[in-house]
């Protein structure tokens, strides 16, 4: 019985460790084909990722340092709340997303750049817009403006990103950033987690039989 517990615990430990790895890096050359396109689907590790740029007439941008942006390499706000940029990313099948990586989000001239994101759940429906903001440590010249947003793990079919202007009616064009990637478990990790759950279930059943 003790051996079974140790095996199950080890499997959970390995799975939990792998969750922290950023598996899908949009700065990878695999996603370079989105550059200068209004929308583009890229197949990566068996999943179709569809990127769309808004408003109408906008085009996606890609570079190896930052990942995905719009037009000027970043998702930007606009003066007078017009033409604020929005990036939509759709997945061809549910992904267990545990975090989001943002770049080019800085604290400079006494201002912390901001952004907004929302989640499209596999169970149906979008979440509300949720804000994020640069850390005081994200100063230009000392960092790449990198921010990690940890999520409560959930099966998602998509994400949206924009600036506060888009839905809060702020008149501040200083907010801009790029989407670097997302954290999802590798298929092998999910297999390990499943095996761990089976081990725990078997242990519980054996205890009940006794």
52/134 same-domain check: yes
Degrees, nearest 5: CA angle 53-86-149: 120
Higher pLDDT, 152 or 174: 152
Q: Is residue 210 part of a domain?
A: yes
| Mean of pLDDT values over 86-108 | 96
Degrees, nearest 5: CA angle 29-34-18: 50
The answer to whether residue 93 scores a pLDDT higher than 50 is: yes
71/156 same-domain check: yes
The answer to whether residue 203 scores a pLDDT higher than 60 is: no
Q: Is residue 73 part of a domain?
A: yes
Query: How many structural domains is the chain composed of?
Result: 2
Q: Which two tokens stand for residue 170?
A: 């702020």
117/200 same-domain check: no
| Mean of pLDDT values over 109-113 | 90
* Predicted confidence band of residue 6 (pLDDT cuts 50, 70, 90): very low
In this structure, the number of other CB atoms found within 10 A of the CB of residue 15 comes to 21
16/28 same-domain check: no
* Predicted confidence band of residue 10 (pLDDT cuts 50, 70, 90): very low
9: containing domain = 1-21+196-210
131/178 same-domain check: yes
Q: Is residue 190 part of a domain?
A: no
| Mean of pLDDT values over 24-39 | 97
10/79 same-domain check: no
| Mean of pLDDT values over 79-90 | 79
The pLDDT, as a whole number, for residue 138 is 96
Tell me the chain's radius of gyration from C-alpha atoms: 20
Question: What are the phi and psi torsion angles at 153 (to 5°)?
Answer: -50, 130
The answer to whether residue 170 scores a pLDDT higher than 90 is: no
Average pLDDT over the chain, rounded to an integer: 80
| Mean of pLDDT values over 100-114 | 94
Q: Is residue 191 part of a domain?
A: no
1/48 same-domain check: no
Is the distance from CB of 157 to CB of 94 less than 8 angstroms? yes
* CA pair distance 187, 44, nearest whole angstrom: 13
Higher pLDDT, 210 or 137: 137
118/208 same-domain check: no
The answer to whether residue 164 scores a pLDDT higher than 50 is: yes
Q: Is residue 90 part of a domain?
A: yes
41/102 same-domain check: yes
Q: List the one residue out of 160, 158, 153, 164 whose CA is nearest residue 179.
A: 160
Is the distance from CB of 69 to CB of 77 less than 8 angstroms? no
* Predicted confidence band of residue 44 (pLDDT cuts 50, 70, 90): very high
Is the distance from CB of 64 to CB of 34 less than 8 angstroms? no
| Structural element, H or E, at residue 178 | strand 176-183
139/114 same-domain check: yes
Q: Residue 50 maps to which CATH number?
A: 2.60.120
* Predicted confidence band of residue 187 (pLDDT cuts 50, 70, 90): low
Rounded percentage of the chain residues whose pLDDT exceeds 70: 70
Q: How many CA atoms lie less than 13 Å away from 44 in the CB half-sphere?
A: 25
165/130 same-domain check: yes
The pLDDT, as a whole number, for residue 196 is 40
Q: Is residue 161 part of a domain?
A: yes
170/210 same-domain check: no
Q: Is residue 2 part of a domain?
A: yes
* Predicted confidence band of residue 81 (pLDDT cuts 50, 70, 90): low
């Amino acid at each position: 019985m003790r051996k079974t517990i140790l095996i199950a615990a080890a499997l959970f430990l390995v799975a939990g460790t792998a969750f922290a790895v950023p598996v899908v890096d949009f700065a990878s050359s695999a996603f370079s084909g989105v550059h200068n396109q209004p929308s583009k689907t890229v197949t990566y590790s068996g999943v179709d990722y569809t990127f769309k740029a808004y408003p109408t007439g906008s085009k996606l941008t890609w570079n190896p340092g930052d990942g995905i942006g719009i037009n000027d390499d970043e998702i930007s706000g606009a003066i007078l709340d017009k033409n604020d940029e929005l990036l939509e990313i759709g997945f061809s099948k549910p992904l267990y997303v545990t975090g989001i990586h943002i770049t080019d989000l800085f604290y400079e001239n006494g201002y912390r750049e901001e952004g907004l994101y929302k989640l499209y759940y596999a169970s149906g429906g979008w979440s509300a817009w949720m804000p994020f903001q640069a850390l005081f440590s994200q100063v230009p010249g000392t960092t790449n403006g990198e921010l990690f947003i940890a999520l409560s793990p959930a099966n998602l079919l998509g994400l949206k990103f924009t600036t506060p202007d888009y839905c809060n009616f702020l008149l501040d064009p200083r907010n801009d950033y790029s989407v670097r990637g997302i954290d999802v478990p590798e298929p092998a990790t999910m297999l390990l987690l499943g095996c761990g759950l089976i081990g725990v279930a078997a242990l519980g059943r054996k205890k009940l039989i006794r």
